[in-house]
Amino acid sequence: MTSQAYQDRYEQLLAQDMYSLNTAEKEGALLPVIQALHQHHKLHSPAYSRLVQHYRDQPDTIEDVPFLAVRLFKLFSLSSISDDDVFRVLQSSGTTSQTPAKVILDRITSARQSKALVKIMQNFIGKQRLPLLVIDAPSVLKNKALSARAAGIQGMAFFGRQTVYALNDDMTLNTDALNSFQKLYADQPVLVFGFTFMVWTCFLEALKAQKLSLSLPHGALIHSGGWKKLTDKQVDNPTFKREVTRLTGIPRVHNFYGMAEQVGTVFVECEQGHLHVPEMADILIRDPYSLAVCENKTQGLIQVISSIPTSYPGFSLLTEDVGRVLGQDDCSCGRSGKYFEVLGRLPKTEVRGCSDTQVSV
């Protein structure tokens, strides 16, 4: 059961343009939704209720909203719905040494995620559905448990038509598919989507190795999934963009920051290379030791706040990612609100050290 107060306020928020309110106006619009979510999860998730029992009854500001460590979703199955209402369980793509996070979704949360993603992305790629090239293999959608990778592709499919997969099931380039996609759509806008590391290794490096290139001069590439593995290869965002354009002709490249624990609220990179905070979400940067909110431009741990989830208590999460707010309301792309950058992850040993002793549900 979702409270009517939450539902009404959420609908109002979604009806807005995602980047028109300034930071002060945005907090005014977002806070009541987040307060309603806090009450909702206190009522419906015994684990959340215990975790926040020492907080005041109602947060007065966004900064006061309690937050959970994102890794709790790897350790526990946190839910605010009855088992009968579970629509799907989303699993983050953990590596073999990592336990994947489990995110419990009901139909309404899942629908809200899709709608929000559409609303946010339309601001960057327009409303028209475009031919879609997915930098992945078709088999990714066949696994029974919905992986974050599959969920991302399903989410982007809302913007696409005539979807073509660029890779074979063994992750090699499907050159026939690429050639026919290029032949059909070289003269018109197309959308290309993939996970950052796969775009680099399975697509760009593979094109290079086979001395191939594409010509999609009206294309836009949307990609996500973290820079950690690419930083190890010494590939930064400008290098990535340059290589995309050189090897595929695609002039527009938008990275976005988002996570399996908060599907739907994505932070998309604008034409200036800044990640923007939409009106239905917020970002706070916290000092990793004191957990106090940092001034703009100071780096710290990223806290993500989303107005979407009612089926699991993950609307305010402290991530293990390091970033900093670069500014607010004055990006030259014209979008209002905060903009930020992600600088990497907290070293693993440090995270284990504190969370092992502090986590208890």
Q: How far apart are CA 10 and CA 6, in angstroms?
A: 6
DSSP 293-308: BPPTT--EEEEEEES-
Q: Which is nearer to Zn ion, 313 or 323 (CB)?
A: 323
Tokens for 95, please give them.
């590596």
Least distance from C-beta 335 to Zn ion, angstroms? Answer: 5
**The tokens 């050189």 sit on which residue?**
246
Least distance from C-beta 329 to Zn ion, angstroms? Answer: 11
Least distance from C-beta 328 to Zn ion, angstroms? Answer: 11
Q: Does 270 help bind Zn ion (rule: CB under 5 A)?
A: yes
The values of phi and psi at residue 9, to 5°, are -70, -35
Q: Does 326 help bind Zn ion (rule: CB under 5 A)?
A: no
Contact range with Zn ion by CB under 5 A, out of 35-43, 134-142, 171-179, 272-280: 272-280
Q: Does 247 help bind Zn ion (rule: CB under 5 A)?
A: no
Tokens for 105, please give them.
């979704």
Tokens for 356, please give them.
């092992």
Least distance from C-beta 237 to Zn ion, angstroms? Answer: 14
Q: Does 268 help bind Zn ion (rule: CB under 5 A)?
A: no
Going residue by residue from 85 to 114, which x/- string records binding to Zn ion, judged by CB under 5 A? Answer: ------------------------------
Q: Which is nearer to Zn ion, 332 or 357 (CB)?
A: 332
DSSP letter (8 states) at residue 142: T
Q: Does 331 help bind Zn ion (rule: CB under 5 A)?
A: yes
What are the contacts of 127-130 at 24+ separation with CB within 8 A?
Answer: 128/189, 129/158, 129/159, 129/160, 129/161, 130/159, 130/160, 130/161, 130/189, 130/190, 130/191
Least distance from C-beta 216 to Zn ion, angstroms? Answer: 24
> Which residues of this protein are in contact with Zn ion, per CB under 5 A?
270, 272, 274, 331, 333
